[in-house]
Structure 1
């Protein structure tokens, strides 16, 4: 394992954590404000979700020798924003535990494996491209607010990729930090290391919290995280059984819930950062990126107070630019794979457009509907071609 460690894999793990903290964590802050959560409790939340993602990511990446990136349920966190403050924090924790137990039993049943295996490769790739597309746009949307800095970052990206593809992400972080200090008046002088002090939250089970949060949390976690997450790994050539991983993550989610941590799931947005060739040319060594992703999460959990302080200081637009540019390669590879199957290009295009649209039907996100529509169209096209052959 030591021989497989490379700086590029370490940086990929770091970038994936930075993206998670800069994006989905913002939803956590919004939920905390809705529930009028104090900074101490917010620190406990960050501690719990970071420790859960850190431990699970390290264990799974080592066991399966695969860059298995885990995180907290971003769509599940979004549910909290709509439920607080009517829902108490104690009820929310009880719902987390209920959802974790349900996910565990879904995992050991093995039903999820069958669903993932029937998704065509071109449809899976198109879904991943659709998921990443809007996220990648964030790098260019910054042109409206900080045009000169965005152009500087774009030029730096091209230069770094040309000079050294392996270390380009690390150089982008350095460039972004430098520009933030020089031109956006970012002040990191008050930054300090603050060890987290987790707060125990006693669960309170109610039918209301079970129906309004626990069950929807299971649905959005399966459709918005596990489905695209496993599909992305499959797209990069990592064939792994979903049963033990889902079951394991269900178990991990139970103890962290008592400290405010929402369900731990397979990451979707950040997975390509560690699973692509940018992390390491050798796909058999990219699991190191998954391990260090977990290590950085653990550090984030231990110093959760510092994480909260840092990401309220680091400019959001710079982080968005770095994250968007870091995903360009994965977006290109996904589109290339999706369009490679010319016979089913309509199915891939419909999948991509549906997923990228960001629609939400019955509380279920666009990634699920994209893969459902795409798979149906793929099956229809296959059937029509067979019928055409038989009539000749």
Structure 2
């Protein structure tokens, strides 16, 4: 299939993208799965399933569509799960994951829904995401009370790296955190465990409250914050991707792997930019091999995910909170900027943001749903009364 080996730049670009994508947010994935009631084995299963889905679906789509299709797990979705104030059992969480994946598949199969999704106000969706992310960034600074040294080191590394080498900022923060914890001997209880990643099947339980408060916002935030920007990245690189196969492919991968804990597999945006430009491969027609190499690195991460997950599970809770908070500063900045772009929608965006960040839970339904409801209601009211005037 390959007449000659890809250039070295293709390998290094794919390696950096995989390393940044995995290392920068794996702490958030661990925290999110724990918030959904997963035990250590189920957290490991979730990470393995996500890496496997990214690898297999990304490789298939890259070869089939002849373009570098770079996939990732849903970082905003993981933040949404970790911020959930509703205590749910793991099978109920799996049911919500399945519901979100099914919504993505239906969206891909029904053209009218796809057109409707493109009309979702970016301000409201971004405001919901900002409301989800804000508590994590606030918790970062609250962690100063219990571990000022670690937080100060992480923030110093982050600020300097964002100026000098922004692409590697999160990776350097992660390494700095590891160094502090190792020097202090804080990674305790890291016992023997499997060296190869495994997956545990969970029978899903569908609860309408969890589908509304977890599944629906998970679908929406993945669509608006991951899949749509991912399509833009591919178009910016000179490709003309058809949304349907990409949305359906990632939706099916999520659907098949949700019973093993995969909360969402989607198009990458930031890391995709590393693999889709001419720096990764000079020939646009042959650049799809970069997506294949990237998939190979994620397959390796899936195989050896178990010891990596055990390491994060052995970290102090304050360290996980600090690493998660730093990792979400940049996404929070982007979400706040996007929610305020359209001046006529700022009131609705602020209502969405405040309701989501409040963490309010009514009738067992979480704040992300109520934030969206508040924003859409405000936009609807404004449209109605504007027409009357």
TM-score after normalising by structure 1: 0.70
Show the counterpart of 2:129.
128
Q: 1:236 to 1:282 in 2, by over 3 A?
A: same
Given that 2:97 and 2:264 are in contact with CA atoms closer than 8 Å, whether structure 1 keeps it comes out as: no
In the other structure, the counterpart of 1:13 is 21
1:213 aligns with 2:212: no
Q: Which residue pairs with 2:219 in the alignment?
A: 226
Question: Hey, what does 1:36 align to over in structure 2?
Answer: none
- SS of 2:264's equivalent in the other structure is strand
| Preserved contact between residue 123 and residue 347 of structure 1 (Cα < 8 Å) | yes
Judged with a 3 Å threshold, the aligned counterparts in structure 2 of structure 1 residues 132 and 155 are, in CA distance, closer, same or farther, namely same
- Partner Cα separation in structure 2 for residue 289 and residue 325 of structure 1: 29
Alignment counterpart, residue 72 of structure 2, candidates 54, 69, 80: 69
Output aligned runs, 1:1-392, within 5 Å: 3=9, 6=13, 9-27=17-35, 30-32=37-39, 47-56=48-57, 59=60, 68-70=71-73, 82-83=88-89, 104-105=105-106, 107-110=108-111, 112-186=113-187, 194-196=195-197, 198=199, 212-213=205-206, 219=212, 222-233=215-226, 236=229, 238=231, 244-245=245-246, 247-253=248-254, 255-256=256-257, 261-262=260-261, 264-266=263-265, 275-276=269-270, 298-388=299-389
The residue aligned with 2:237 is: none
CA contact (8 A) 2:128 2:353 kept: yes
Q: Residues 193 and 365 of structure 1: is their aligned pair in 2 closer, same or farther, counting only changes over 3 Å?
A: same
Preserved contact between residue 227 and residue 368 of structure 1 (Cα < 8 Å): no
Which runs of 5 or more structure 2 residues have no equivalent in the other structure?
1-5, 233-240, 281-287
Return closer, same or farther for 1:43/1:349 CA change in 2, 3 Å cut-off: closer
Cα distance 1:105–1:123, how it changes in 2: closer, same or farther (>3 A)? closer
- With the length of structure 2 as denominator, give the TM-score of the two structures: 0.71
CA RMSD, 1 decimal:
4.7
The residue that corresponds to 2:3 in the other structure is none
3-state secondary structure, aligned to 1:340: coil
Whole-angstrom distance in 1 between the partners of 2:298 and 2:289? 14
The secondary structure found in structure 1 opposite 2:27 is helix
Shift in CA distance, 20/248, structure 1 to aligned 2, threshold 3 Å? farther
How far apart are residue 342 of structure 1 and its match? 2.3
**1:166–1:279 Cα contact (<8 Å) kept:** no
Tell me how many residue pairs correspond in the alignment. Answer: 361
Counterpart secondary structure, 1:140: helix
Q: Classify 1:127/1:82 alpha carbon distance in 2 versus 1 (closer, same or farther; 3 Å).
A: closer
User: What displacement does 1:227 show?
Assistant: 0.5
Cα deviation, residue 16, structure 1: 4.5
Residue 126 of structure 1, CA deviation: 1.7
Shift of the 49–360 alpha-carbon distance from structure 1 to 2, 3 Å rule, reads farther
Deviation (angstroms), 1:178: 0.6
Partner SS for 1:185:
coil
Distance 1:221 1:343, change over 3 A: closer
Note the C-alpha offset of 1:50: 4.2
**What is the Cα deviation at residue 230 of structure 1?**
1.1
Query: Hey, what's the Cα distance between the residues in 2 that align with 1:324 and 1:110?
Result: 38
Partners of 2:188 and 2:53 in 1: how far apart? 30
Could you tell me which runs of 5 or more consecutive residues in structure 1 were left unpaired when the two chains were aligned: 34-38, 204-208
